[in-house]
Structure 1
């Protein structure tokens, strides 16, 4: 422990304990709710284990000390797809998470942390929005104690029917009763977030929403589905079966799925870490160390058969807003989760599933970042297309396919941008001789040599040609060589060719085009400044 950390722990440990309690109160319903949303049978303990490991283990190793790790809503969709895959299933989940952890650990060890951030923002936000749509559509039905088989589109189009079940219940139905608990949770959460007193801001609205639903159901005696916490968090059957794991990870599908979980979890974690850095003035994130820590955490979670983890912004922002300054708050919240399960397991069994589903419906709506479209428009329509295509791909197919669609479109846009060159030619009046102005915009590479040559050859060789290259983001040697060659031809015919870009002019000079060209470049710059 450094002197600085020792000083912090001695002077502010009380504040770290208070912050850890706040994070625990935020994390408890989210760990349970995300676990239920993953679709695993007896899933409650899986989410709690991940929260405990994310606090105690990853909190101790983290490269982003104020970031809190645990089960994330985004990964719940991936887990649901994994366990519904007949070749993976519940038995293979641990193997995929274990392998994803190894990939993260190796990537962190080889200092590849920042590479996981090299993803188009349109794809990232599209992925989160797509996940938000899936969470909203699936958990809306859970919120009324209903179940719809099928993918995202089927769940979306079934929502009007769910309203009918609530508004016009059959005699034996309990859909409307569960809906009461769910709506009460959301209303409580919204009202608390809007009107909570400043002194009580550390109490999370999610916790109050769940508490309100528990009290409501207990008073009314409504028969709604509730959470069931097993007597033991970890059993021999839940531990990783090495034989099954090896057989799954020998397949192409197993490897692809492991990399999918690793990439999505890493991208979400490191983007969250970047957001966390903006919320405080303390120690900045060491991305490689954070990735390594996440790898260790997911290896443990995979072995224990629990859910994968990421850094999560809701818990992290609560940690910072409650005054945390060191990693002790994140670590302690893991201990509080463990103690609560050991001492008050019966309390968890009182929670209606509809209440937790309601929280996830709220989170899903928050993830659907429609306002981001306005920001994307500033960078062109192509970014909006990538964003919408990513969402549509995720909802219509699955998370991996949707991400690959968005990533593929982003690469196509990059290739187009790197090879797109716009050339405009205008004729200007000059008392001495004809003067042509040629302007370039985009990227001039060897692939554009034919187009560039065509435009140059269309101009009279005995004229004055001003070539403006300020709009270029890149020009390669092949294009510079063509301009050099054409300049020589223009000079032999009595014309003048002038470049209007300092860096390219220097390249021309280094290419030994002669003193005459250097003077013309300088004269052009002087002429432009006089204008």
Structure 2
């Protein structure tokens, strides 16, 4: 685990700076205390990171659960909502024991790649206002339609009335530092690979904010990170909230708990799949163990006043893009959050959001590179359509809806291909027979193929001669057998001769296809 500390420590610092405002922003969007988001970030890093088998995934509070959490807190109150978080975690452990982690493998690669590209575009778009000094909305709001009635693009228009010169300067210089560090300096000397560029950018931002106070280029307080500052150790302890277990019999608490378990598990499994695809070493995360880790994290988070936890692609992708090699990076980022909120909250509150916007610009661009779109386009419609629909759905709705749309398009594509590939039919002139046709059935023929096969048989002309080759067919749906039996009757009326070819020999004008296939030991379902 500690073999790659030279890569994991710099990556954990980057993830720490990315995660800190996200934890606070998601708590704000969820209608929960700001400290509850930090608790979830700490538990997600230290506890889930330690138990999980994912080497590069990072867990914490998720924007995708913000709407659910907001409604639940409004209905139940925060104390009773924490009971639902504990219940959700227990159910996730049960799902892991029942080996439900396999669900993640049923999502097509094109949809997962579309999810990553869509998240990259959203990250980029959502950080533009912060880069220009407009911070009305919370940092972690990733949905298109926002809680204040605005949307992603309307906020870009609103931003034009609130441009801060200081924020723009910080963003531009931070981007220059990041790009120069990664593309030039890191190749010049080893020292530039040990010290992460994002840390240098953050230090620059803090120094700039301090030096430019009370000038025309200052960074407004609204454009800085906002970490709760406890006045004493007792004040720090008072920020923890404990669940009200007297509400355990409340059906609404259980409904919320089940909802959290399902949504959090689905988001986690999708992010696991996506993170594994981004992993340069292509390691595979054990998904059932991941559900056990997430469930344990949610139980602990709920018990001490934290938000629900999932594996999250924004932090995971930042971790991967920063060169992390093992889970040590995720664990360290949680430890850094804990240490920093206890010891240096005042200093953290000097970090401009514009610096974090610059870091996330780079992350977003790497997730949605133009070369990825070119690559997917070259793979053909079957890959490109689900990819693009997933991106459009995520950008203009939210993560789960976008993935659902991409999955639906992927399934339709499969059905269409199955419809086309059930058989091969061609016409040829054979001696004195002009209307001779050959139809080869595929290895597996299901009810999805009956429309295509029925159409071809129906279009055969009178007095035709059909060779029906089932040599390669092993698996037949009973619907297909019915179609062939019905066609045998029509064939007599149209004077069509049918020659059935199999591995055992040839039969002309069989009276029952079902009997024939049973004799040939074809599996009829």
Partners of 1:470 and 1:163 in 2: CA distance:
69
Determine if contact 1:33/1:360 at 8 Å carries over to the other structure. no
Within-5 A mapping of 1:41-60: 45-60=35-50
Partners of 2:274 and 2:170 in 1: CA distance:
34
Determine if contact 1:390/1:402 at 8 Å carries over to the other structure. yes
Determine if contact 1:101/1:262 at 8 Å carries over to the other structure. no
Within-5 A mapping of 1:329-368: 330-331=330-331, 334-368=334-368
* TM-score (normalizing by structure 2): 0.73
Residue of 56, 74, 77 corresponding to 1:67: 56
Within-5 A mapping of 1:263-412: 263-273=266-276, 275-276=278-279, 279=281, 285-303=285-303, 304-306=305-307, 308-310=309-311, 312-314=315-317, 317=320, 321=323, 330-331=330-331, 334-368=334-368, 371-377=371-377, 380-381=380-381, 383-412=383-412
RMSD: 4.6
Per-residue deviation at 1:45?
Answer: 4.5
What residue in structure 2 maps to residue 227 of structure 1? Answer: 225
Per-residue deviation at 1:322?
Answer: 6.0
What residue in structure 1 maps to residue 193 of structure 2? Answer: 201
Partners of 1:238 and 1:16 in 2: CA distance:
37
Determine if contact 2:437/2:466 at 8 Å carries over to the other structure. yes
Secondary structure of the 2:519 match is coil
Per-residue deviation at 1:508?
Answer: 9.0
1:218 aligns with 2:214: no
Partners of 2:353 and 2:153 in 1: CA distance:
20
Partners of 1:285 and 1:98 in 2: CA distance:
24
Determine if contact 2:110/2:383 at 8 Å carries over to the other structure. yes
Per-residue deviation at 1:268?
Answer: 0.7
Determine if contact 2:89/2:299 at 8 Å carries over to the other structure. yes
Determine if contact 2:45/2:331 at 8 Å carries over to the other structure. yes
Determine if contact 1:426/1:438 at 8 Å carries over to the other structure. yes
1:79 aligns with 2:81: no
1:179 aligns with 2:168: yes
1:497 aligns with 2:505: no
What residue in structure 2 maps to residue 188 of structure 1? Answer: 177
Partners of 1:132 and 1:48 in 2: CA distance:
24
* TM-score (normalizing by structure 1): 0.73
What residue in structure 2 maps to residue 104 of structure 1? Answer: 92
Determine if contact 1:49/1:233 at 8 Å carries over to the other structure. no
Unpaired runs of 5+ in structure 2?
A: 138-143, 508-513
Residues 425, 400 of structure 1: alpha-carbon distance in 2 compared, 3 angstrom cutoff: closer
Partners of 1:81 and 1:286 in 2: CA distance:
27
Unpaired runs of 5+ in structure 1?
A: 1-8, 167-174, 515-531
Task: Name the count of aligned residue pairs.
Answer: 485
Determine if contact 2:97/2:288 at 8 Å carries over to the other structure. yes
Residues 242, 369 of structure 1: alpha-carbon distance in 2 compared, 3 angstrom cutoff: farther
Of stretches 406-415 and 20-29 in structure 1, the one that deviates more from structure 2 is 406-415
Structure 1 residue runs of 4 or more that deviate by more than 6 Å after TM superposition? 41-44, 421-424, 469-474, 484-491, 500-505, 507-510
1:262 aligns with 2:260: no
Residues 385, 444 of structure 1: alpha-carbon distance in 2 compared, 3 angstrom cutoff: same
Per-residue deviation at 1:29?
Answer: 0.1
Per-residue deviation at 1:365?
Answer: 4.1
Partners of 1:179 and 1:501 in 2: CA distance:
74
- Give per-residue Cα distances to partners, 1:154-184, cap 9 Å, x unaligned: 3313424524643xxxxxxxx2222222333
Partners of 1:88 and 1:138 in 2: CA distance:
29
1:512 aligns with 2:519: yes
